[in-house]
A and B are shown apart, each in its own frame.
Chain A
Amino acid sequence: MARAPEAQDRFVSGSGLPVDRLYTPLELPAFDYLEELGFPGLFPFTRGVQPTMYRGRPWTMRQYAGFGSAEETNRRFRYLLEQGQTGLSVAFDLPTQIGYDSDHPLSGGEVGKVGVAVDSVDDMATLFQAIPLDKVSTSMTINAPAIVLLAMYVVVAEEQGVAPGALSGTVQNDILKEYVARGTYIFPPRPSMRLVTDIFRYCSRHLPEWNTISISGYHIREAGATAVQEVAFTLANGLAYVDAARQAGLDIDAFAPRLSFFFNAHSDLFEEVAKFRAARRLWARLMRERMKAKNPRSWMLRFHAQTAGSALTAQQPDNNVVRVALQALAAVLGGAQSLHTNSRDEALALPSEESVRIALRTQQIIAFESGVTASADPLGGSYLVENLTRTVEEGALAYLERIDALGGAVAAIERGFMQDEIHRSAYQTQLQLEGGKRQVVGVNCFQDDQAPSSPGKAMGIRLDPRVEDRQRRRLEALRRSRDAGAVTGALEALAAAAREAAADLFPPILDAVRYRATLGEVCGTLREVFGEHEPSVAG
């Protein structure tokens, strides 16, 4: 040791977990292979949810895209499908995500910015023009108004001649993490949970191939959480949805197999692999032992992963290609079912087509060149990774106990517990970065004065500033051409159903959007009955 001193007194993972010099069987006391790992496709699914994993087929390569108008986004979707992408993922603009039409006063400046503007079924039809909905799977990042956008998708499919049963895809529909981390809530938590379970109910009867929710740690991690907090808060939210659905009278083994998850693929390779494995094992145990689910599919944690947007640097942006490759590798070694890889220029602007292509090629190189797909859970049995997996699971379980003591996830969120924990972690991370305790290449070490920190000509795209005007005109035309009496009647029926606590809201929403009620009109009707969420201001 004297001749080879170590550079630091203490080594820690990206989330601050201690990492020792060497791991041996001594650091894995009482290790029971069958209980802790088992086999891929079998409880507790530590090694993956399918017996053959990527030997059957690789994960779904699903790049999140959407900007400007439905026409522009439709062109980007068709481009991505031509490039070999295997699923679609829709980004909606903020007015759509918060249930405002493009001509609402609060929509000013936001229309078409972070995603595509969808005001009505007609916009949704344009978005999927010439894309057969029975042939692709579509993921929609939509939460507070998820029930409305899903209803629009069902109507577009009907009008394409595709039966609901043939549709596959996902709605994010995870309202709890909106209160915690992402901010696109509309209604207070309790009526929001009702909308979530109404989607579970409708899909279990009519859309058997649809993932009814994507319980998301991604945004929790992006907001600053550690790996342990990401797992803990996501699974706590998951348990709250299961409880709510059971209270609404749904059978756990009818809806739980369609629950899906969404995690962040961050920068510390082994910690991330351990995180995915720990999340799978912990969820399986919770669902079987605590929730008493009987169907093995109810125990499985299937997840989408996205590389960490917050780890991208504005400095030396080409370095992000390498970061994304390592993060994507972590997701694959961790057994992801689908993956989005970020583009190098996303810390600067919306990504260019060239950057998106490199991001997709990164996945294809991992899938078809690296060889890591040949064997399930290739890091299983590593003394280090098994140790980290245990540490993450134990840490998450300790948080779950604290959340239970607060009365569960909904109560913990209402009291700001998760939010405070995340904000503290975020501030610590920034202080470590500025104090030099955490190194980021190009940011606080290996800086390059010559490298421009602004996007070069090849990078970024500019949005067409006329999108907002076009959407306004389209809304005017829609309101003139539709059957106004039918729309009013459908919205009144929806309001009446919303006032009945036991009524299922999916059918009246489906009717309303079929008659071309707009998103803002449907959400406005529900706002009047449910009220709006008033956050307690953090900080």
Chain B
Amino acid sequence: MNRPSPAEEGTGIPDLPPIRVLIAKAGLDGHDRGALVVTRALRDAGMEVVYTGIRQTPEQIARAALQEDVDVVGLSSLSGAHAHLFPRVTEALRRLGREKVVVVGGGVIPEEDIPALREAGVEAVFTPGASLQAIVAFIRQRAGKVEDRE
């Protein structure tokens, strides 16, 4: 885990451990093009990324976040079940004592559903048309600072 990623090698910047991210498909939805593209983009940005595969329950996702000791969980759902599933993930993370994990979400999520998701602890929601650059920048900014990490 302390191995520098290729993107960070030889920069002369003191080595920070790479940001660790879990990308997770919550619920029964099998559309994982977005999740897979984001997984690759975060890796290319020097992060260590674990992808859960499809059909994960909130409890499975929280347990994987604990086991993989991640800084960030990225949730994806395109089936309209986000309002049901995403808050259950943040809840399960809290139960496991991982409330510091940054949770973000993405998918076909109507604007009016976003305030409730934020309320439940999903810090950012990336909807269709969001750029990879914006996603990488947000995660770096939220999880990349030394003082935020233990």
Contacts and interface: CB of A to CB of B under 8 A. Distances in A.
| Chain A, interface SS category | loop
Interface string B24-64: 00011111110011011100000001111111010000000
B30 A178 contact: yes
A11 B39 CA distance: 30
A222 B108 contact: no
Interface stretch (B1-9, B92-100, B125-133, B142-150): B125-133
A310 B50 CA distance: 25
A423 B110 contact: no
Contact of B129 (A224, A443, A538): A443
Contacts of B31: 182-183, 222-223
Contact of B111 (A113, A454, A538): A454
B66 interface: no
Contacts, number: 111
Given A109-B85, A349-B110, A426 B80 contact: no
Interface in A425-461: 426-427, 430-431, 434, 443, 453-455, 460
User: Contact size class for A?
Assistant: 35 or more
Nearest to B134: A434
Contact of B33 (A109, A222, A535): A222
A142 to B, nearest CB: 14
Nearest to A95: B28
B36 A347 contact: no
A98 B41 CA distance: 30
B75 interface: no
A110 B30 contact: no
A463 B83 CA distance: 12
A114 B53 contact: no
A248 interface: no
B23 to A, nearest CB: 7
Contacts of A434: 131-133
Contacts of A313: 128-129
10 contacts: A114-B79, A222-B31, A314-B129, A349-B110, A423-B36, A427-B40, A430-B41, A454-B110, A538-B36, A539-B40
Interface of B: 23, 27-33, 36-37, 39-41, 49-55, 57, 79-81, 83-85, 108, 110-112, 127-129, 131-133
